[in-house]
Structure 1
Amino acid sequence: MGSTPGTTPPPGRGQLTRAVILRAGIAFIDDNGARDLTMRRLGGRLGVEAMALYHYFGGKEELLDGIVDQVIDDLGSDPQVLMKGASSWQDYLQRLAHGVRRMALEHPEVFPLIATRPNSAPWVRPPLRSVRWLENFLSSLKEWGFDDAAAAAAYRSYTSFLLGQLLLEVSAQGVSIGPTDPNDPDDPRATAQPGDDIDPTEFPTVVRMRAELARDLGLPEFERALEALLDRLAATLPQADG
C-alpha cells in the first residue's frame, strides 16, 4: 500500500536513527500524550516492528529520557535564545525564559515530563535540566558580575519560577500534570466540569468570580512575574565599591 499523497511515508527499518525515533516520539506525545506512548505504537508510526526500536533504546523509560533531552537541546536552536549579544544579564534571562515558555507551549504534553523525569544529578533542576544549560546559565551570570553564591541562588529562583509558571500554563490547556489520566472514562473528572463541586452557599465569592479567575492571562502574568524575579535578583548582586 502506498503512502497518502502529500504525506511523508514512515522511514522504515533501514532509515531509522536515534534522531528519527526521538522526533517521532516527540510528535507522538504532542498528538496523543505521554501515557499512550508505547514502543509498539511508536514502531507502528514509524512503519517498523517495536523490536527495531530496541536497537536504539533499552525501553520506554530510556526513550522518554531521550525525548526530554532532545526537547531541551532544541532550546539552543531558538534564534531568540542565542546568548551572544545579550545587552545585560536581565536581557539574557528574559530571552531564555521566553524561549523555555515557547518550548513548553509548543510541546505542552512533553513539558510535564521535563518537570518530573529524574535529573542527571540532584543539583540539575528542571526545566533547565541539562548540564550544558546549567553551565551556560552559571557562566553567563558570572560574566555579568554574579559571584558563585548569587549565581547559584539565581539558578534556584529562576528555575522554580519557570517550573511553577509553566506547569500552570500547560495545565490550563488541559494537559495532565498528575498521576491520573483525565481521559480515563472511569475518572469522575472526565465528565465533571471544573468547579462543579463548589458549593455556592459556602463559597459565594469564588463562584461569582469564576469567569474572571478563568481569564487567560498567561503571557501578561508571565511577564509581570519575570520582571519581579529580575528585580529580586538584582538586589542580591554584590554592590560595586565607590
Structure 2
Amino acid sequence: MTTSPESTGSRTRLDRERVVHGAIEVIAAHGVDGLTMRRVGQELGVEAMALYRYVSGRDELLEAVVDALLGGITTKVEAQGFDSWQGYLQALAHEVRGVALTHPAAFPLAATRHPEAPWLRPPLRSIAVVEHFLATLTGAGFDDTAAVDAYKLFTTFLIGSLLLEVAAHGSDIAGVGQAGKGGAPATLSGELEDAPHVRRTQQRLSKDTSKQEFEVGLEALIDRIERSF
C-alpha cells in the first residue's frame, strides 16, 4: 500500500493552520507576488496538490493569511487591559503595528484584500473587530456618529502610516492590490446578527467622508507640529 506523503513524517503532517503558516513563510521570503501553491508545498515538504484539501486555491490562501495575521487582535488588547478609550486606541494601534513590523511583506495584504463588507476599512476589516471598536467607544460615552467617525479616522491613520513604514523597510506595496479578486460576500446577515453596533451604524459606515477625514487628519497633524515647535 502506498503511503500518503502527508503521513510520512511530522514535517509533512498537514492541517489548514500549517498550510497558512507555510504561506506566510513563503511571502516573507518571496513576497506576495512570489506566493504559489508549489512554493508552499515545497516549504511544507509536500506536493502542491496536497494543499487543496485545506484551501481551494491561492486566493483563499491569501485571505486566510490576512485572517491569521489580524486574528485575535481584540483579544490581545483586552488581555493588556486599558482604562480609557485613549488607552484602547493606543493598545489597538500598537497591536496592529506589531503585526505590520513582524510580517512586513504580508501586511500590505491587509490593506488590499476585500473586507467582510465594502463599507469596512482595512486594517480593521472584520465585522467582529469593528463591533469591538464601536462597542468600546460607545461604552466610553461616544454617540454613534462620533464612534464611526473615530473608526474612519483611526483606520485611515493606521493604514497610511503602517504601509509607509513597511515600505521604508523594503516591502513591496506596489501591485499587491491585484491579489484581491472578487467582492465581499453577498450576504452578511449571520455576522451582522452578532454585531448590533455595526448593524445600527451601517449606513454611516458606508458613507464616503474621505475628504473630511483628510482635512481633519491634516488639521490634527498641524496642531501637533505647532505644539512641538
Q: Which runs of 5+ in 1 are unaligned?
A: 1-8, 181-224, 233-242
Match of residue 105 from structure 2 = 109
Match of residue 175 from structure 1 = 171
Seen in structure 2, the aligned counterparts of structure 1 residues 139 and 24 have a Cα distance that, compared at 3 Å, is: same
**How far off its partner does 1:85 sit?**
3.5
Which residue identity is paired with 1:48? V
- Please, which of 8, 11, 21 is the counterpart of residue 19 of structure 2? 21
| Higher alpha-carbon Rg | 1
Is the 2:74–2:132 Cα contact (8 Å) retained in structure 1?
A: no
**How far off its partner does 1:71 sit?**
0.5
- Please, which of 37, 40, 43 is the counterpart of residue 42 of structure 1? 40
Q: For 2:81 and 2:109, how far apart are their aligned partners in 1?
A: 32
- Please, which of 45, 49, 52 is the counterpart of residue 50 of structure 2? 52
> Which has the bigger relative contact order, CA under 8 A and spacing at least 6?
2
Q: For 1:46 and 1:136, how far apart are their aligned partners in 2?
A: 35
TM-score, structure 2 length as denominator? 0.70
Identity of aligned pairs, percent?
A: 50
Q: For 1:42 and 1:72, how far apart are their aligned partners in 2?
A: 21
Query: 1:187-236: per-residue Cα shift (whole Å, max 9, x none)?
Result: xxxxxxxxxxxxxxxxxxxxxxxxxxxxxxxxxxxxxx9xx58x99xxxx
Which residue identity is paired with 1:88? S
Match of residue 115 from structure 2 = 119
Which residue identity is paired with 2:11? P
Which residue identity is paired with 1:123? W
Match of residue 186 from structure 2 = none
Q: For 1:126 and 1:141, how far apart are their aligned partners in 2?
A: 18
Is the 1:10–1:46 Cα contact (8 Å) retained in structure 2?
A: no
Flag the structure with higher helix content. Answer: 2
Seen in structure 2, the aligned counterparts of structure 1 residues 132 and 118 have a Cα distance that, compared at 3 Å, is: same
Seen in structure 2, the aligned counterparts of structure 1 residues 83 and 143 have a Cα distance that, compared at 3 Å, is: farther
